[in-house]
Amino acid sequence: MRKEKESFVERFKFLYLLIALLLSYLVNPIFDALELKGSQFFLSLFLSILLFTGVYAVSRERRTFIIVLILVLPVFILSWLLDFFPSPSLLFLREILLAGWLIFIAVIIMGYVLRKEKVTFEKLSGAMCLYFLLGYIWAHLYYLIFLLQPGAFGIENPDVFNFTYYSFVTLSTLGYGDITPLSSIARAFASMEAIAGQLYIAILVARLVALHITHSREEVPGSS
């Protein structure tokens, strides 16, 4: 019985990461709407869950697990330190390390998704995780730009959540216009994200469709 349970857990690693990514995005507005006390503690808790879910999702090999774990530990420590010792320097360092870690696991997931293997639910979950990770990566890059250049964006509440919101609006090319890039570097990153969102759909989704068609033909007897 235990063996079957472990097998099920191992089978849907990217699904757990996808759920963690969704919850991490939704928890902030929920806490704001309910005006709950101690919300910062729960935000740090959800970030910690996301971090270690990401470690688990990409740890298909022992070497990868060790590398990703080493990279995530400073982010984890700094995130909790900032709750008790707010510091612009610590915040800036945390954002650099977090953006780097997100890029690292995104590259690992992209490699898995692009493999010449049958398109499964786990591979589709990985593709969805990759899309969300792109949004989170740019969100933290925008925040870093703001920390270096406070006038880079026209934004009322310059926190991570609002930059995450702006990132996904840009990635999906909705462009509501409530947050605007003002500096040249901010505009450059915003335009690159919009291009990345379009390329993601055009290239990666096309790749998954091609893999699905190829493996479907191979499963049909007598097909070439």
pLDDT at residue 219, as a whole number: 63
Q: What residue numbers bound the domain in which 76 lies?
A: 2-219
Q: Is residue 67 part of a domain?
A: yes
Range with the largest mean pLDDT of 40-44, 119-123, 185-189, 219-223: 185-189
- Please answer whether residues 50 and 24 qualify as being in contact, where contact means their C-beta atoms are separated by less than 8 angstroms: yes
Please tell me the predicted confidence (pLDDT) of residue 113.
87
CB under 8 A, 24+ apart: contacts of 57-61: 57/13, 57/14, 57/16, 57/17, 57/105, 57/109, 57/129, 58/13, 58/105, 58/108, 58/109, 60/13, 60/112
Mean pLDDT computed over 58-72: 87
| pLDDT of the residue at 222 | 53
**What are residue 154's DSSP bridge partners?**
180
The yes-or-no verdict on residue 185 having pLDDT over 80 is yes
Amino acid symbol at 156: E
Q: Which tokens is 24 given?
A: 């991490």
> Is 19 part of any domain?
yes
Q: How far is CA 25 from CA 11, 64, 106, 143, in A?
A: 24, 26, 17, 16
Residue 140 pLDDT more than 50? yes
Residue with tokens 């808790």: 45
Please provide the average confidence, as pLDDT, over all residues in the chain: 86
What predicted TM-score, i.e. pTM, was given to this entire model?
0.88
Can you tell me the distance from the alpha carbon of 176 to that of 174, in angstroms, rounded to the nearest whole number?
A: 6
Question: pLDDT tier at 2 (50, 70, 90 boundaries)?
Answer: very low
- Cα–Cα distance measured from residue 52 to residue 20, given in angstroms and rounded to the nearest whole number: 10
pLDDT value at residue 4: 46
Domain count across the chain: 1
- Alpha-helical segments (H) within the chain: 2-11, 13-34, 39-58, 62-84, 88-113, 121-148, 160-171, 184-199, 206-219
User: Cβ(163)–Cβ(143) under 8 Å?
Assistant: yes
Q: Note whether residue 133 is domain-resident.
A: yes
* CA-wise closest residue to 138 among 184, 174, 171, 89: 171
For the residues of 35-57, what is the DSSP string, one character each? T-TTHHHHHHHHHHHHHHHHHHH
Which CATH number covers residue 63?
1.10.287.70
3: amino acid identity, one letter = K
Q: Is residue 46 in a domain? A: yes
| Separation of alpha carbons 111 and 147, rounded Å | 32
Query: Would you say residue 177 lies in a domain?
Result: yes
Contact 127, 208 (CB under 8 A): yes
For the stretch 7-23, pLDDT in tens is 556 778 899 999 999 99
How much of the chain exceeds pLDDT 70, in percent? 89
Residue 224 domain flag: no
